A and B are shown apart, each in its own frame.
Chain A
Amino acid sequence: MVIIQALINGVLMGGVYGLTALGLTLIFGVMKVINWAHGSFIMVGMFAGYWLWTLTGIDPYLGLIIIVPALFLLGYFVQDALIKPVFRSEVGVREPIGVLILTAGLWLFIDNFALLLFGPFYRTARTPYSGLTYDVGGLLISAPRLYAFIITIVAAYVLSTFLKKTRLGIAIRATGQDRDTASLMGIDVYRIYNIAFGIGIAITGLVGSLLVPFYYIHPQAGFVFDIRAFIIVVLGGLGSVPGALLGGLLIGLIESVGAQFIPATLTQGIIFAVFLGVLYLRPQGLFGFEKEW
């Protein structure tokens, strides 16, 4: 009984983790870039959702209509203004480490700028969904987490379809596979990067707002999700949407079910151990493909 409860919780949280990884895997897969500031953008999404709810009373789920496009634009701009120049200067280099460092600087900047603006106090949004649970035969299912999970599945499906069926999506995948050939085919590589980054950040905005009903809001709240997102992306295989979801579920389950048997502090250790194991044995992740890059 307890295990089932833990399982349910693990699955729901796993979905959220998977969503955080979704944006990252797209960015990672297309641009081969680690976005160290990913957690910071989740935090931006959180604050956006929080302020929207507190100042205007718009339902946090409806507010997504505003937040997601706003963060897309933010991502587009950041990529265009900051990342592109560094990227360009490293065109010959196989691994754009410079961008990793740049995003690390971005992370420091965004987190501490938020600290300056909003102060270090913790906030929570008391929405009508907070604390709501559904009782299913003795098992308690947290409503906001359930909604987050459903939206995650939907988002993953939409993204997947977008990447497979639309021209833009195919262009993105093509650029990810081989940018030189893609460029030869007439694709504006840098514009694609802008869009991909924008989508990735839009997804983090989505995650951030989904967290608002059941999590606290704080300038440094995004960092923890950051590390997990990286681990999940590697586990699932970069560029793989189902991989991100399944990786997220795996982490969520380890955290939730594992904690029933060992102290919570050790589950973290297990997550890292699994991560290292996968890197060692199957670096392309559980669902990725051997990519020549």
Chain B
Amino acid sequence: MQVKEEKINKDKFARSFRSPIPILLALVAVVFCIPLVVKDPSWLQLAILTMWYAYLTCSWNLVGGFAGQLSLGHAAFIGIGAYTSTALYLHFGLSPWIGMFVGGAFAVVAAITVFYPCLRLLGAYFALASIGFAELIKILTENTTKIFGIEIRGPRGLSIPPLGHAPFHYQFVNKAYYYYTILIMLLIAWFITYRISKTKLGYCLSAIRNDVEAAQSLGVNISKCRLMAVSLSAFLSAIGGTFYAQLLLYIYPEAVMGIMLSCELAFIALIGGRGTVMGPIIGALIYVPASELSRIYLSGGRFLGVHLMLLGIVVMAVMLFQPGGLMRPIGRVYTRWVKKLEPRVQKV
């Protein structure tokens, strides 16, 4: 009897490892503790940027991965968020913590009116439309000095007066505060993605992604699913835009609405594995530090633009050899490791 119970318990133990949740919780705990140990602001800045990109890619993933439509115009939402909260703050004194939700709302409106109708377009067309959308927003912003009396200042950008440590104004001196803010945002975004992937919305999106007509014939409400995905994605991206504005205290159209930013999100998702839950995070973990490192050690002087050249090669290599992103091999390694664990347990 006792032997059997032991065996069952150990089986349960091994089985709990199959689900990545305990490991992830451990990792999250570690990440939370980092600012307590690392005080060097430049490392913290790197971590913050990495998490910011991961967060944005997670929200991108809702459209680009789950809904399956490659969007190269997400920077528009980021920019709308950044500009809305900043303009409202500068003009009305509205705290960016509130302003960011207003920005999110505007982004959702933009998404529903322009982005959503384009979703019915086929892949390549949609990508182009998203570029057109983002560029249009950027050009409009660059050519606007004031909207209803609120300063936008076109290409000259908006700068936020630095107030030192001002939590209600969404400003901090110590980087650790920014670190925790973006970490919590990232966890929320990740959690949302995770929940969606396990619920009806996720399955509907998956069905739409694979075959629209089949999904329709099965009674999937295409428009509703797409609307939800797009709105959520736009909302989250906009909030990410506000974070950026408060981190750097200076925004201008090219920085928050530029096409390179949109492309970076797509690249990160690809490298990590678009449509997967962990993909964006893994992608950001690889892309951002690598980009920083290569810029420091490889660019300038005789080696102009080498880091971008390498990025090009990496992107091509990923597409040629591992188009599902690096999520798959990592997932496989994880599963192999878990399987190794089991026989050892059962031998008892």
Q: What is A's interface to B at a CB cutoff of 8 Å?
A: 28, 32-34, 82, 85-86, 89-90, 94-102, 104-113, 115-116, 119-120, 227, 230-231, 234, 263, 265-266, 268-269, 272-273, 275-276, 279-280, 283, 293
Establish whether residues A85 and B320, one from each chain, have CB atoms under 8 Å apart when the complex forms: yes
Establish whether residues B312 and A107, one from each chain, have CB atoms under 8 Å apart when the complex forms: yes
Q: Of the candidates B305, B314, B323, which one forms a contact with A86 in the assembled complex, judged by CB atoms under 8 Å apart?
A: B323
Establish whether residues B306 and A116, one from each chain, have CB atoms under 8 Å apart when the complex forms: yes
A104 to B117, CA, bound (A): 25
Q: Of the candidates A90, A100, A116, A275, which one forms a contact with B132 in the assembled complex, judged by CB atoms under 8 Å apart?
A: A275
Task: Find the residue from A28, A32, A113 having the highest chain B CB count within 10 A.
Answer: A113
CB-CB under 8 A from A280, the residues of chain B are: 117-118
B 299-333 to A, binary, CB cutoff 8 A, 1 in contact else 0: 00001111011011111101110010000000000
Taking the nearest CB of chain A, how far is it from the CB of B43, in angstroms?
A: 27
Q: Of the candidates A95, A102, A263, A273, which one forms a contact with B124 in the assembled complex, judged by CB atoms under 8 Å apart?
A: A95
CB-CB under 8 A from B129, the residues of chain A are: 275-276, 279
Asked, given contacts A28-B124, A115-B304, whether A101 binds B315 with beta carbons under 8 Å apart, the answer is yes
A102 to B270, CA, bound (A): 11
A33 to B128, CA, bound (A): 12
**Nearest opposing residue in chain A for B307, CB measure:** A112
Establish whether residues A279 and B319, one from each chain, have CB atoms under 8 Å apart when the complex forms: no
CB-CB under 8 A from B118, the residues of chain A are: 276, 279-280
Establish whether residues B309 and A108, one from each chain, have CB atoms under 8 Å apart when the complex forms: yes
Question: Beyond A275-B132, A279-B125: 16 further Cβ-contacts under 8 Å?
Answer: A34-B127, A100-B123, A100-B127, A101-B315, A102-B320, A104-B266, A104-B315, A105-B313, A106-B312, A108-B309, A108-B315, A109-B313, A112-B309, A112-B312, A234-B125, A279-B118
Taking the nearest CB of chain B, how far is it from the CB of A46, in angstroms?
A: 17
B9 within 8 Å of A (CB atoms): no
CB-CB under 8 A from A120, the residues of chain B are: 304
Taking the nearest CB of chain B, how far is it from the CB of A28, in angstroms?
A: 7
Establish whether residues B125 and A108, one from each chain, have CB atoms under 8 Å apart when the complex forms: no
CB-CB under 8 A from B143, the residues of chain A are: 263, 265-266, 269
Chain-A contact segment, one of B21-29, B134-142, B157-165? B134-142
Establish whether residues A276 and B114, one from each chain, have CB atoms under 8 Å apart when the complex forms: yes
Establish whether residues B319 and A272, one from each chain, have CB atoms under 8 Å apart when the complex forms: no
CB-CB under 8 A from A263, the residues of chain B are: 143
A105 to B123, CA, bound (A): 18
Q: Of the candidates A32, A86, A109, A268, which one forms a contact with B309 in the assembled complex, judged by CB atoms under 8 Å apart?
A: A109
Taking the nearest CB of chain A, how far is it from the CB of B127, in angstroms?
A: 6
Q: What are 27 inter-chain pairs, A to B, with CB distance below 8 A?
A: A32-B124, A85-B320, A94-B122, A97-B124, A97-B127, A100-B127, A101-B270, A101-B315, A102-B315, A104-B315, A105-B311, A105-B312, A105-B314, A105-B315, A107-B312, A108-B311, A108-B315, A112-B312, A113-B309, A116-B305, A119-B304, A234-B128, A265-B142, A269-B143, A275-B128, A275-B132, A276-B136
Q: Number of contacts between A and B (CB, 8 Å)?
A: 129
Asked, given contacts A97-B123, A98-B319, A109-B312, whether A104 binds B132 with beta carbons under 8 Å apart, the answer is no
A229 to B56, CA, bound (A): 29
Q: Of the candidates A34, A99, A100, A112, which one forms a contact with B305 in the assembled complex, judged by CB atoms under 8 Å apart?
A: A112
A105 to B322, CA, bound (A): 14
**Nearest opposing residue in chain A for B124, CB measure:** A34
Taking the nearest CB of chain A, how far is it from the CB of B117, in angstroms?
A: 6
A258 to B122, CA, bound (A): 31
A227 to B139, CA, bound (A): 14
A102 to B118, CA, bound (A): 23
Asked, given contacts A102-B316, A265-B143, whether A279 binds B305 with beta carbons under 8 Å apart, the answer is no
B290 within 8 Å of A (CB atoms): no
**Nearest opposing residue in chain B for A234, CB measure:** B128
A85 to B124, CA, bound (A): 19
Taking the nearest CB of chain B, how far is it from the CB of A239, in angstroms?
A: 13
Task: Find the residue from A101, A266, A268, A293 having the highest chain B CB count within 10 A.
Answer: A101
B215 within 8 Å of A (CB atoms): no
A291 to B308, CA, bound (A): 37
Establish whether residues B128 and A279, one from each chain, have CB atoms under 8 Å apart when the complex forms: yes
CB-CB under 8 A from A279, the residues of chain B are: 118, 121, 125, 128-129, 132
**Nearest opposing residue in chain B for A108, CB measure:** B312
Taking the nearest CB of chain A, how far is it from the CB of B325, in angstroms?
A: 11
**Nearest opposing residue in chain A for B274, CB measure:** A97
Establish whether residues A101 and B319, one from each chain, have CB atoms under 8 Å apart when the complex forms: yes
B256 within 8 Å of A (CB atoms): no
Taking the nearest CB of chain A, how far is it from the CB of B149, in angstroms?
A: 21
**Nearest opposing residue in chain B for A220, CB measure:** B305
Asked, given contacts A86-B323, A106-B316, A234-B128, whether A94 binds B123 with beta carbons under 8 Å apart, the answer is yes
